[in-house]
């Protein structure tokens, strides 16, 4: 059974929206992965500077640590996190069991449209191509079309994960 569900994908895929709705449907807490970024990382992304693997590592470890604390307390959560590379997902999961990934796929055109109209977020839309180039599509995740209706996405996740 899933104890932590990580909703992943590039910026603009709908991770936060899906994560919030899924968490509400399950009665689980929702953790926004962006809140684990350092101030320096947030500033880099705001300025349109792509993060390196070295920039991302402390962020990934911080999310893993939060997941480990949940596991120790036998608690559940839904987390939104880009988790773009296979090694990022390995770092996030570590030796934890019960971590499942949901990968939201969205075309570049729709991602660009979403990012162009998004307000109040630090992510610079100019970084979209960098994220798409970094993305290693997961083989071990539930893959869902991120343009489906939120209710359909949540229902699919719940059905597939038995939650």
Express each pLDDT in 64-123 by its tens digit: 999 999 999 999 999 999 999 999 999 999 999 999 999 999 998 888 888 777 665 555
Length of the chain equals 163
What does pTM read for this prediction?
0.88
CA atoms of 38 and 157, how far apart (whole Å):
30
Half-sphere exposure of 41 (CA within 13 A, CB side): 16
Pair of tokens at residue 38: 């350092």
Cα–Cα nearest to 67, from 95, 87, 88: 95
Q: What's the CATH code, domain 4-161?
A: 3.40.50.300
Q: How far apart are CA 60 and CA 55, in angstroms?
A: 9
Q: How far apart are the first and last CA of the chain?
A: 8
Domain range summary for the chain, segments of one domain joined by +: 4-161
* 22-71 per-position pLDDT tens digit: 999 999 999 999 889 888 888 887 777 878 889 989 999 999 999 999 99
């Amino acid at each position: 059974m899933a104890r932590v569900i990580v909703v992943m994908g590039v910026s603009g895929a709908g991770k936060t929206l899906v994560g919030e709705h899924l968490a509400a449907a399950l009665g689980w807490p929702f953790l926004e992965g962006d809140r684990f970024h350092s101030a320096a990382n947030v500033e880099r992304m705001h300025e349109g500077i792509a993060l390196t693997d070295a920039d991302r590592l402390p962020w990934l470890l911080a999310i893993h640590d939060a997941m480990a604390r949940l596991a120790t307390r036998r608690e559940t959560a839904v987390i939104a996190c880009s988790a773009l590379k296979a090694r990022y997902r390995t770092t996030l999961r570590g030796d934890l069991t019960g971590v499942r990934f949901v990968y939201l796929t969205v075309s570049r055109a729709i991602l660009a449209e979403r990012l162009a109209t998004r307000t109040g977020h630090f992510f610079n839309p100019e970084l979209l191509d960098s994220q798409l180039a970094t993305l290693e599509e997961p083989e071990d995740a539930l893959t869902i079309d991120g343009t489906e209706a939120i209710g359909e996405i949540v229902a699919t996740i719940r059905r597939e994960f038995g939650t």
